Amino acid sequence: MSQRLADTTALITGASSGIGRSIALRFAEEGANVVVADVRSEPREGGTPTHERLSDGVFIETDVSDIEQLRSTVNETVETFGSLDVMVNNAGVFPGSQPIETVSEDEYDRLLAINLKGVYFGCTLAAEIMREQGDGGSIINLSSIAGVVAFDDSAAYCASKGGVTNLTRELAVELGNDGIRVNAINPGVIETAMSTEDAAVAGTLGDRIPLGRDGQPEEIAGAALFLASEDASYVTGHNLVVDGGYTAR
């Protein structure tokens, strides 16, 4: 491996399973110390817990909708590894198709608390540390194609991911003078336990995807590695769509 993230520390939320797990494993291969922050340590897809597969990794139980838990995780990351260089706000939920009139207030509040509030304060807390360190940093937010185009019967989800998309742009402007780059990844349908079990969207859009297939978590991890590394040193405020061409139509 090229060790593009050597001597860096990355905090990745929702990293026990799916996309977050793949990002954590890829970052570790590239030399990063990795903190796996999640509400559970066991992968939804089964197998060895993510942090146990890392040579320099730890697990911290974290509910991103709880700001104090998130703050504690950020502080523990710095105490453990001495810095926070890359923040990946990956934790999120996708409830599947929900016509607007079927979404209850409690469901809406939970969705926004995880998908948008958790990202907002993940960015806030990471930026505070990165500013104190004075060496810049990289913040990567996981949005969605539902953050840039309409997605059938997903008004609440689109609202949450649209918020992440534009939050990313704003923070790139606000934090640029501090050398902190803020970017987002907007995945299409990615084959994970969440998309195949909870949301049942995997395999449903193949005829509308130019590449003719769902994406794999490893393909999002590759995009995250680019944005975290010095290869993207002049990239900020960008929402990188990784969707097999779905939104090109």
| C-alpha of 160 from chain center | 13
What is the number of domains present in the chain?
1
| 61: in domain | yes
| 2: in domain | no
| 181: in domain | yes
- Mean local confidence (pLDDT), 113-134: 98
| 54: in domain | yes
CB 56 within 8 A of CB 33: yes
Distance CA(199)–CA(159), nearest Å, equals 17
Average confidence score pLDDT of the chain: 95
**Residue 110: pLDDT over 80:** yes
pLDDT value at residue 96? 84
pTM: 0.96
| 63: in domain | yes
The active-site residue, picked from 108, 120, 157, 246, is 157
Sequence-separated contacts (24+) of 48-52 with Cβ below 8 Å: 49/16, 50/15, 50/16, 50/17, 50/20, 50/21, 50/24, 50/25, 51/24
| 64: in domain | yes
**Residue 87: pLDDT over 90:** yes
Is 108 catalytic? The answer is: no
- Mean local confidence (pLDDT), 77-92: 98
pLDDT value at residue 200? 59
Which CATH number is 181's domain given?
3.40.50.720
- Token digits for 116? 């948008």
Could you read off the pLDDT of 8-57 as tens digits, one per residue? 999 999 999 999 999 999 999 999 999 999 999 999 889 999 999 999 89
Its domain, for residue 133, covers 9-189+216-244
CB 24 within 8 A of CB 47: no
Residue 115 CB-density burial (10 A; 0-12 exposed, 13-18 middle, 19+ buried): buried
**Residue 125: pLDDT over 80:** yes
